A = this chain, B = another copy of it.
Amino acid sequence: MAFRTRIKVCFGDIDNAGIVYYPRFMHYFHLAIEEFFAGGLGIDYADVLHKRNLALPTVHLESDFRRRLKFGDRIDMEVRVINIGSTSITWGYRGYLVDDEEDIVVEGHNVTVCVKNDTFEKIDVPEWLIQGLKTYMETLDKE
């Protein structure tokens, strides 16, 4: 099964229509990536930035919002690696309502490019990251 992390909708995520403010879903995507690095790759995302000098700014995003969320809802956000390019990685996300596997709340993907965190110079996807992602994906295939 692909990596998943649990996210609770908090009081402050709610907007004036009484549901999750939709930019917060992108924040949930990012939280999931942070957890994926720690839990799926075994590399702290803060270390990616500050020790390995790699940042992953988003250059493209698509998302479908299938269900409105309310305060107190919990979702399991799944992270997948859709593509590893020469300088970019495409990440997929799928959020399931907890306790209801059939109920997809949000789906999306984004493309991030690799840049040096200090200079923002574009670089190739580092070898350590390619290896980490491939090992992770092979583990998934074996399951």
Q: Which of B10, B45, B58, B71 makes the CB contact (< 8 A) with A11?
A: B45
Cross-chain contact of A46 among B21, B26, B63, B71 (Cβ < 8 A):
B71
Q: Which residues of B contact A66 (CB under 8 A)?
A: 59
Known: A11-B30, A14-B14, A21-B30. 13 other contacts (CB 8 A): A10-B30, A10-B34, A11-B16, A14-B15, A14-B16, A16-B18, A16-B46, A16-B49, A17-B55, A22-B30, A22-B57, A57-B68, A60-B62
For residue A44, which residue of chain B has the nearest CB?
Answer: B72
Q: Does A52 contact B (CB under 8 A)?
A: no
Complex contact B22–A11 (CB within 8 A): no
Give the B-binding residues of A (Cβ under 8 A): 10-12, 14-19, 21-27, 29-31, 34, 44-47, 49, 55, 57-66, 68, 70-72, 108, 117, 120
The residue in chain B whose Cβ has the minimal distance to the Cβ of A120 is: B68
The 5 residue pairs across chains A and B that have the minimum distance between CB atoms: A46-B72, A23-B26, A14-B16, A17-B55, A22-B58
Q: What B residues does A60 contact at CB under 8 A?
A: 62-65
Given A22-B58, A63-B61: A31 in contact with B10 (beta carbons within 8 A): yes
Are A15 and B17 touching (Cβ within 8 A)?
A: no
Q: Separation in Å of the A124 CB from the closest CB of chain B?
A: 18
On whether the beta carbons of B57 and A17 are closer than 8 Å, the reply is: yes
